């Protein structure tokens, strides 16, 4: 008996019927609700403290705060679309920032000419991006080649990358970056902070990548049904490797933004960012089991949480209470998504039964 690979018309529905609206970014109910929530929270927090929340200083502060977590959330989006997750992003971000900081501090320090400062600052940025790509590649190899589950693999590499950072720095912060680097990312263009522009550029590129490229389409297909994707001829090993490499690059970019904002790098910065980035992705409509989600939802969820976070700070909420709210929100959103998915499956089953 001969075995043949299934043609596209005979592939499972989960593979061939990946919603076009998800890939192309068309409006869906979840995105519309998030848009309403973002506007509602913005207006509510402003109404509670209009003298502070709606000031140019607070709006500029928010525009400088959310890009770091936003880049990590975009990385979680990619990982989840493939059917996995990456818990090591904060570790990658810190390690990339540490190595970039060491390069810039030692080579572009006092006594360096303006040309040397520019050259070595660019070298530090390149080192950070390279480290992020290599760390992401390690994750991809462990997951795709060795076969370790993504949650266990990235949990282990999170400890590995953090440990390397601790050893390199002796658990002490590295500070004293060139002004060219810190001032450059702290500046504004037409009143918009550079970090917000950096995030907007990455979000636009990510939306284009997922909706307009063959690799993005294959990523959705693999996440929807990895077994069917392999039978359809997709190289899922290479796809996972590329996915986690890109996630590592996004993490390194987030690390560079933190480095510029704090003028320092340390192995334990941003420990709460992992939970926040996962919450943003799930709240933004990304399926934790893979195959669906889009950039627009992640961006809107990011804005909702940023408005809430800023409002909580203004109203005097403690950081512990905020962490509790984020954790409860994540559980509630995942429960609601699960119930919604079960309801859709039952509805689809009834429709197929009728037909």
Reported as a single tens digit per residue, the pLDDT across 282-323 is: 999 898 888 889 999 999 999 999 998 898 888 888 777 777
> Does 25 score more than 50 pLDDT?
no
**CATH number for the domain harbouring residue 184:** 1.10.3470
DSSP state of 109: S
Section 324-332 average pLDDT: 75
- Closest by Cα among 302, 283, 287, 298 to 223: 287
Could you please report the per-residue DSSP string of 110-139?
TT--HHHHHHHHHHHHHHHHHHHHHHHHHH
Domain assignment present for 56: no
Q: What is the per-residue pLDDT across 239-272, written as a single tens digit (0 to 9) for each?
A: 999 999 999 999 999 999 999 999 999 999 988 8
Cα separation, 326 vs 349, whole angstroms: 34
Residue 59 lies in a domain: no
**What residue numbers bound the domain in which 313 lies?**
23-38+64-340
pTM exceeding 0.75 = yes
User: 179 lies in a domain?
Assistant: yes
Rg of the chain over CA atoms, in angstroms? 21
SS (H, E, C) 306-337: HHHHHHHHHHCCCHHHHHHHHHHHHHHHHHHH
Q: pLDDT of 105-123, one tens digit each?
A: 888 777 778 888 899 999 9
- In the beta sheet, which residues pair with residue 174? 265
Percent with pLDDT over 70 in the chain: 90
Residue 148 lies in a domain: yes
| pLDDT score of 186 | 85
Does residue 293 lie within any of the structural domains? yes
Does residue 59 surpass a pLDDT of 60? yes
Residue 109 in any domain: the answer is: yes
Q: Are 170 and 176 in contact (CB under 8 A)?
A: no
Return all residues near 89 (Cβ < 8 A) that are at least 6 apart: 72, 75, 76, 247, 248, 250, 251, 254, 273, 274, 277
Q: Does 219 fall in a domain?
A: yes
> What count of Cα atoms within 13 Å lies in the side-chain half-sphere of residue 41?
18
Domains in the chain: how many in total? Answer: 1
Residue 17 belongs to a domain: no
């Amino acid at each position: 008996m001969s075995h043949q690979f299934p043609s596209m018309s005979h592939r499972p529905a989960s593979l061939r019927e990946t919603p076009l609206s998800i890939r192309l970014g068309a409006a869906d109910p979840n995105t519309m609700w998030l848009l309403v929530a973002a506007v509602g929270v913005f207006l509510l927090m402003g109404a509670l403290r209009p003298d502070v929340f709606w000031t140019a200083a607070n709006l500029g502060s928010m525009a400088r705060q959310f890009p770091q977590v936003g880049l990590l959330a975009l990385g979680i989006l990619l990982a989840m679309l493939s059917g996995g997750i990456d818990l090591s992003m904060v570790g990658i971000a810190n390690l990339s920032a540490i190595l970039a900081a060491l390069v810039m501090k030692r080579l572009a320090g006092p006594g360096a000419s303006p040309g040397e400062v520019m050259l070595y600052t660019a070298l530090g940025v390149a080192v950070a991006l390279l480290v992020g790509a290599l760390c992401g590649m390690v994750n991809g190899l462990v997951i795709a080649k060795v076969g370790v589950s993504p949650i266990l693999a990235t949990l282990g590499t999170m400890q590995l990358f953090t440990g390397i950072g601790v050893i390199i720095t002796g658990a002490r912060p590295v500070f004293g970056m060139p002004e060219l680097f810190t001032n450059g990312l702290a500046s504004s263009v037409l009143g918009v902070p550079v970090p917000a522009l950096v995030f907007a550029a990455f979000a636009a590129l990510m939306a284009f990548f997922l909706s307009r490229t063959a690799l993005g389409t294959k990523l959705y297909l693999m996440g929807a049904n990895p077994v069917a994707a392999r039978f359809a001829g997709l190289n899922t090993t290479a796809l996972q490797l590329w996915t986690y490499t890109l996630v590592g690059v996004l993490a390194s970019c987030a690390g560079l933004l933190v480095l510029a904002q704090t003028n320092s790098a340390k192995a334990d910065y941003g420990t709460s960012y992992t939970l926040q980035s996962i919450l943003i992705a799930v709240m933004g409509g990304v399926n934790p089991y893979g195959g669906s989600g889009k950039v627009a939802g992640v961006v809107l969820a990011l804005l909702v949480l940023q408005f809430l976070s800023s409002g909580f700070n203004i109203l005097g909420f403690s950081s512990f209470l905020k962490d509790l709210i984020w954790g409860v929100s994540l559980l509630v959103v995942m429960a609601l998504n699960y119930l919604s998915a079960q309801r859709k499956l039952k509805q689809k089953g009834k429709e197929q039964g009728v037909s």
